[in-house]
Amino acid sequence: MVQQQLIDRCKSKDRVAQRALYDQYASMLYGCCLKYAPNKEEAQDILQDSFIIIFEKIKQFKNEGSFEGWCKRITINTALQRYRTANLYHIENENTIVDDAIDFDNSIKLDMVDMLAMIQQLPHRYQLVFSLYSLDGYSHKEISKMMEISVGTSKSNLSRARLRLQEMIKEWLIHNASDAS
């Protein structure tokens, strides 16, 4: 079935088409959910909530831009909304920002599963900002609007996420070096 036909049938609440659309996009959107959730169970809940919203709002999709991008945006917003009310954001003075990027040694072989596990161990406020900025390419200005925080808080949380990830990567390297010997 062609994507446009599938979308049109979903707009008519065709259950077979909805299942086909779910099957086509679930794994990609689940990967997106994992970036914002502290564990797999939460990611599954976000995915389920996202598809409910996608099916409720599919008539609003106007075939402008990619459908995949539209679904991803709904999924990210669903994840953010879930945590927005949980008081996970940490307000920082903009003067305390440290602009440290993670320096990777090119010989480090850290797979995506290990990296995702580390990201999920971050405090939620750091995880959300890190994922939005580093993995999904949003600017600090966009993140501040999405999360209803200041640009300075976004920058500070990203900086602190990077520092924590550097520490986790160092621990991972030490652990894996001792396993190799």
Q: What per-residue confidence (pLDDT) applies to 63?
A: 84
Beta carbons of 149 and 88 less than 8 angstroms apart: no
Q: What per-residue confidence (pLDDT) applies to 23?
A: 96
Q: What per-residue confidence (pLDDT) applies to 86?
A: 59
Q: What per-residue confidence (pLDDT) applies to 91?
A: 43
- The correct CATH number of 94-180 out of 1.10.10.10, 1.10.1780.10, 2.120.10.30, 1.20.140.10 is 1.10.10.10
Q: What per-residue confidence (pLDDT) applies to 96?
A: 43
Architecture of domain 3-84: Orthogonal Bundle (1.10)
Residue ranges in the chain modelled with pLDDT below 70 = 1, 85-110, 178-181
Closest CA to 33 of 9, 50, 58: 50
What are the boundaries of each domain within the chain?
Answer: 3-84, 94-180
pTM: 0.71
Q: What per-residue confidence (pLDDT) applies to 173?
A: 83
How far is it, in rounded angstroms, from Cα 116 to Cα 176? 17
Residue 142 CB-density burial (10 A; 0-12 exposed, 13-18 middle, 19+ buried): middle
